Amino acid sequence: MLYTALLPKWWFKVQLTHAPSEKQPQRSGRALGEQLRTMCPTLADPTKAYYIPSWVMPGGDMQTIYLYTQHFKPAGCPVSYEREIFEFSDGGKAAIDWAQPRQDALPGSPLIILVPGIAGGSHDYYARSFIHRISQQPYGYQVVVLHSRGCNGVDLHTPKAFHAGMTEDLREFVKHLAENRPKSPLIGIGFSLGANILTKYVGEEGASCRLVAAASVCNPFDIDTTVRAMCVPTIKNRFLYAAALTRSLISVFTSNQKVILAGEVALDAKRIVSARNINEFNEEYTIKVFGYQSAKELNVGGSCIHYLKDIQVPMLFINALDDPMCYRRTIPFDDIAKNPNLVLACTRYGGHLAYFEGTSVTPWLPGQLASFVQAMLKWK
């Protein structure tokens, strides 16, 4: 546990990957990288950007497991929400949580859209800790959380729930916000599965993207490689990560079984609830209701890695090299370096969405995201 205190500081330097400054977009005479170095020094300034994990839990597994325990402690990071039910054009519905206090009355006020991880939501600690930071001074920005269908207390109204490459709901919601708040700059932040969805959406939109900037945290990038690795029957997969994700998917199905089975597609409920991993669940449910031929087709087509080249707004990626769920081998360093709009910040440690530091075990991530948001809003 104490070995991190014995390592030299340079060992913990944040590793940046991006295109050369002369190729990056320029605003007010300043390149994207320079703007980040100036306004996000603990993330992008080589002389100040370090992430040193808490010596109490330096490894990715411990960090990730500890983060999970914090989801059930709202008193530790209190955030209140006002819930809205958003109805999509196909009749489906999803929970939309607005962080309080709402700032709708302020014309042109920025709006941050959070896209959580698989079956996650506004109750998750990574969301609450960021909202707690960004809603306070010197920021004071409005945040709204877009949940997946069938999650967080809102039942499905159609047989379709969600999948890793499903960008239609995010697109419709962003369009709604842009039309109802035309003067408000919109910034998207995605976590884990939500990071893949957000990144794919931004790439699909290209120059028409309604977001002024976006950030991705612990992105799997290559869904097929990630899911296949999670299907290997290791101890961690069987009892921790893959098992937890599969249970969350099955829970969405069992909570909405009546609506799902009433659809036109024939499904075997017993085989769905007995799925041992994500691919088995997708083979029995997801590909059938969404019209794919196989889980591999779903995973490959839903991977945001194919859309990085098309992104035309500034986008920050933060990944930990010891992430036990989104693997180092899937991080597309070369693809990110080829697109001048992208910046990748990699840390040696941090686990999956955790990033705890110090003896008091406080989160490092919220401050970095808040600084990025402010940097993008002031880069004109």
R_g (Cα) of the chain, nearest Å: 20
How do 81-87 and 93-99 pair as beta strands? antiparallel
Active-site residue identified among 122, 192, 303, 371: 192
Closest by Cα among 45, 83, 355, 98 to 217: 355
Q: Is 132 a catalytic residue?
A: no
Backbone angles phi, psi at 113, to 5 degrees: -105, 120
- What residues are paired with 186 via a beta bridge? 111
Q: Rounded distance, CA 1 to CA 208, Å?
A: 48
Q: Is 352 a catalytic residue?
A: yes
**178 class by beta-carbon count within 10 Å (0-12 exposed, 13-18 middle, 19+ buried):** middle
Q: Is 192 a catalytic residue?
A: yes
Active-site residue identified among 222, 224, 322, 323: 323
55 contacts 359 by C-beta, under 8 angstroms: yes
Active-site residue identified among 18, 132, 147, 352: 352
Backbone angles phi, psi at 11, to 5 degrees: -60, -25
DSSP state of 207: G
> From the CB of residue 194, how many other CB atoms can be counted at a distance below 10 Å?
29
Closest by Cα among 168, 148, 163, 217 to 188: 217
**Catalytic site residues?**
192, 323, 352
